[in-house]
Amino acid sequence: MDNTIRIPLDLPDVQIQEVSQNEQGEWLIRVESRIHGTQCHRCGRQITHFHGVDSAIRLRHLPLFETPVLIEICPKRYRCPHCEGHPTTTQRLSWHALRSPNTKPYEQWLLRLLVNSTIADVARTLNISDETVLGVLKRWVSPQVNWDEFESIEVVGLDEIALKRGHRDYITLVTVPLMPHGVAILAILADRKKQTVVDFFRSIPTRLRESIQRVCTDMYQGFVAAAAEEVPQARIVVDRFHVARAYHKCADAVRKHELKRLKQTLSKAEYRQIQGAMWPFRKSPDDLNDEEQALLDRLFTYSPKLKLAYTLREELTEIFERNYTKTGAQCAIRAWCKRVRKSGLDEFESFLGTVDTWLDNITNYFLEGWSSGFVEGFNNRVKVLKRRCYGILNVETMFQRLTLDLDGYEKFGFT
């Protein structure tokens, strides 16, 4: 019975000379180029004066049944009869990049493994060093955006990221939503200073910079000022999700204060009845099941103040759900602010200040052309990207890693 199989090597332009296994059990496949001649590195002409072969190099290739495979080849060298001094040029083969210790199929496989993973994980899986993985990433993924890939940029997102929780070092993520769904990264800036963002806008080719119609941003003066100066034609939109985070925080502050008060004033048995109310309180009414609704109702009978905070919070969310015009939205939000002031809930005080400062940018959300699904989709994708940034401290590598996450399968998948 024959238990061997024959499989094609699938590397073009080479002839297999010998297959053996070394002491480590790795497959060693010795091959020879079947191509004659190369292009002179100086004059670019086709040259065929054979000069000899270089010493053998070993390149890591795709493993066979999890056994590592090395391709061994002695690169051919050719002499140019035309150039002065008759320089020699090493022949390049289509499946190997200059100075790489791996074959191209191996590197593309590695890149697919790296999508949504980490350098350390891939290095461990393949039993190679972190540096090898980084080297592959550097060879294949540009550390900067290629502007030629864009016809126009309609929307730019500016988001700040604190690299470590509670850390004060911020970087800036610059993104564009791609239709119908998707996102591309334009840059990762090393800080969030206004000047840095200004410099970035200036680095965008004029034709593209002039095509920007909206800049979506956090409520952060540095971003807004930079965008207003450098892309004056664009509307600056503080998106509703950043706003929502701010007023949800106010309602949560009321919850904390009230629960603390109730813990002191209610009997133990009574307090037990409202335990676990935090999660239902955070949900919108539509997302509550009957049990959660009952729990919230009990909580609200003990604390009318909390009911008020919850109602106000949901009223504002409701405003963002409606098809207001910009002016209509401004009226509705101002009326809401009045109700908040009347409520006497001090916890919302800071948010009223936020509305005063940002109302114009906040209500740009209601200008035509936005659908909330679009904004939410964009925002969710940015959130995923932001999460992926934690732990990557090198801004350049971060750009390459996130770009790979976004289109690695497409770029390095099977064709």
Considering the complex, state which of residue 78 and residue 281 has its C-beta at the smaller distance from Zn ion.
Answer: 78
Q: How many angstroms separate the CA atoms of 185 and 392, rounded?
A: 16
| Closest separation in Å from C-beta 44 to Zn ion | 7
Which residues contact residue 183 at a Cβ distance below 8 angstroms, ignoring those fewer than 6 apart?
A: 157, 175, 176, 177, 378, 381, 382, 385, 406
Tokens for 279, please give them.
Answer: 């999660």
Considering the complex, state which of residue 91 and residue 379 has its C-beta at the smaller distance from Zn ion.
Answer: 91
| Closest separation in Å from C-beta 49 to Zn ion | 10
Tokens for 129, please give them.
Answer: 């060093």
Side chain identity, residue 288: L
Considering the complex, state which of residue 47 and residue 274 has its C-beta at the smaller distance from Zn ion.
Answer: 47
Look-up of token digits 């001090």:
346
| Closest separation in Å from C-beta 82 to Zn ion | 5
| Closest separation in Å from C-beta 164 to Zn ion | 54
Q: How many angstroms separate the CA atoms of 259 and 77, rounded?
A: 80
Binding mask 19-48 for Zn ion (x = CB under 5 A): ---------------------x-xx-----
Considering the complex, state which of residue 42 and residue 338 has its C-beta at the smaller distance from Zn ion.
Answer: 42
Q: Which of residues 200-259 bind Zn ion (CB under 5 A)?
A: none
Q: Which of 377, 287, 363 is nearest to 320 (CA)?
A: 363
| Closest separation in Å from C-beta 43 to Zn ion | 3
| Closest separation in Å from C-beta 40 to Zn ion | 3
Binding mask 320-359 for Zn ion (x = CB under 5 A): ----------------------------------------
Q: Which stretch binds Zn ion (CB under 5 A): 78-86, 210-218, 334-342, 367-375?
A: 78-86
Strands 170-177, 183-189: pairing is antiparallel
Considering the complex, state which of residue 43 and residue 278 has its C-beta at the smaller distance from Zn ion.
Answer: 43
Exposure of 198 in the CB half-sphere (CA atoms within 13 A): 9
> Residue 222 in 3-state DSSP?
helix
Strands 49-53, 27-33: pairing is unpaired
Q: Which stretch binds Zn ion (CB under 5 A): 81-89, 279-287, 313-321, 329-337?
A: 81-89
Per-residue 3-state assignment (H helix, E strand, C coil) for 82-113: CCCCCCEEECCCCCCCCCCCECHHHHHHHHHH
| Closest separation in Å from C-beta 84 to Zn ion | 9
User: What DSSP element (H or E) covers 276?
Assistant: none
How many residues bind Zn ion (CB under 5 A)? The answer is: 6
Considering the complex, state which of residue 38 and residue 132 has its C-beta at the smaller distance from Zn ion.
Answer: 38
Q: How many angstroms separate the CA atoms of 155 and 234, rounded?
A: 9
Does the protein bind Zn ion through residue 83 (CB under 5 A)?
A: yes
Considering the complex, state which of residue 82 and residue 263 has its C-beta at the smaller distance from Zn ion.
Answer: 82
User: What DSSP element (H or E) covers 214?
Assistant: strand 214-217
Considering the complex, state which of residue 86 and residue 261 has its C-beta at the smaller distance from Zn ion.
Answer: 86
Footprint on this chain of Zn ion (rule: CB under 5 A): 40, 42-43, 80, 82-83
